[in-house]
A = this chain, B = another copy of it.
């Protein structure tokens, strides 16, 4: 093994001819260090390629400069973007991010993830996973007095939450279709154990109800293009009439487009589609996709800011921070050709 024993603060002190405490002062930029000592210590650090050990520092300081993240579904666009932004933002605040990705939303996995992060003595925690089934009391017992920010999850009483308003997003999409004159509007949603999906369903329903319109169809799929393709193919073959379609992410919308093309539908004349997320490819689909833009970088930024507030003022009451998504109109939506149409 490489038992080469890494250089320590003492090695540097010895070489510079000062005490270890002086070296510590140089590292931490304490003002009371003479110019001579400073130079000699810096020279020694360079020469010995000294790097202070975070572990030792954390132990002594009783804080880790680490932020824990519990993430879910990071292979999907939204979570992946958020996580990447989170990492960048954290680095700018000179925090290190420690990410644990859970593969399901069971209490067992969530609690194991929290334990892992508590061992690392993270200074704060961002839970970036839908937690529909978790009891608040259970969470309280594991998180203890760790500062936590939730996102993508249902409102937690007394807990800090930063989220993009999915309800409003879906409503914007549905309203756009309604304003164009669509009367038969279907929803292709993601899995309902994602809280985001639940909220989008509610927003869509709310818009339709307010307009006095009955939903044409309410489908659930798995966020993938394949799933979207499958569901819309089935819907078309079932003969259910619809002219407007709200899809809960752009990948499924892509699959839906394919299904519609295969069934010789003309787009957007025959069916208008609104996606969700505004992935970079959306503007280049056939036809370019009208969609609900979500600012994941802003979500990351805000949740980190909120976590910082939690860490600095642990007793401050935290409120809900909400980001509003934006409707991006492209050419996949238009006025319906006929007020009503069935199977082609």
Alpha-carbon distance A49/B115, docked complex (angstroms):
10
Knowing A4-B145, A145-B2, A281-B251, the reply to whether A119 touches B226 (Cβ < 8 A) is no
CB distance from A95 to the nearest CB of B (A): 11
Alpha-carbon distance A81/B80, docked complex (angstroms):
9
Chain B residues with CB below 8 A from A118, complex form: 51
Q: Tell yes or no: A58 within 8 A of B by CB.
A: yes
Interchain residue pairs with CB less than 8 A apart (19)? A2-B145, A6-B121, A51-B115, A54-B55, A54-B120, A54-B121, A55-B55, A55-B58, A55-B121, A59-B59, A74-B80, A96-B98, A225-B281, A226-B283, A251-B281, A254-B285, A257-B284, A258-B284, A258-B285
Chain B residues with CB below 8 A from A269, complex form: none
- Contact A254 B284, beta carbon cutoff 8 Å: yes
- Contact B97 A99, beta carbon cutoff 8 Å: yes
Cross-interface CB contact of A280 among B251, B280, B284, B285, cutoff 8 Å: B251
Query: How would residues 281 to 309 of chain A score, 1 for a CB under 8 Å from any chain B CB and 0 otherwise?
Result: 10111101000000000000000000000
Q: Tell yes or no: A244 within 8 A of B by CB.
A: no
Greatest chain B CB density within 10 A among A54, A103, A145, A314 is at A54
A contacts, CB < 8 Å to B: 1-2, 4, 6, 49, 51-56, 58-59, 64, 74-75, 80-81, 84, 87-88, 91, 96-101, 103, 115-116, 118-121, 141, 144-145, 224-226, 228-229, 251, 254-255, 257-258, 261, 280-281, 283-286, 288, 314
Chain B residues with CB below 8 A from A141, complex form: 49
Knowing A84-B80, A115-B51, A145-B2, the reply to whether A280 touches B225 (Cβ < 8 A) is yes
Knowing A54-B121, A225-B284, A226-B284, the reply to whether A99 touches B101 (Cβ < 8 A) is no
- Oligomeric state, in number of copies? 2
Alpha-carbon distance A228/B261, docked complex (angstroms):
23
Alpha-carbon distance A225/B254, docked complex (angstroms):
14
Alpha-carbon distance A87/B98, docked complex (angstroms):
10
CB distance from A238 to the nearest CB of B (A): 20
CB distance from A116 to the nearest CB of B (A): 8
- Contact A286 B286, beta carbon cutoff 8 Å: yes
- Contact B91 A84, beta carbon cutoff 8 Å: no
CB distance from A91 to the nearest CB of B (A): 7
- Contact B51 A59, beta carbon cutoff 8 Å: no
Cross-interface CB contact of A229 among B81, B97, B228, B284, cutoff 8 Å: B284
- Contact A261 B280, beta carbon cutoff 8 Å: no
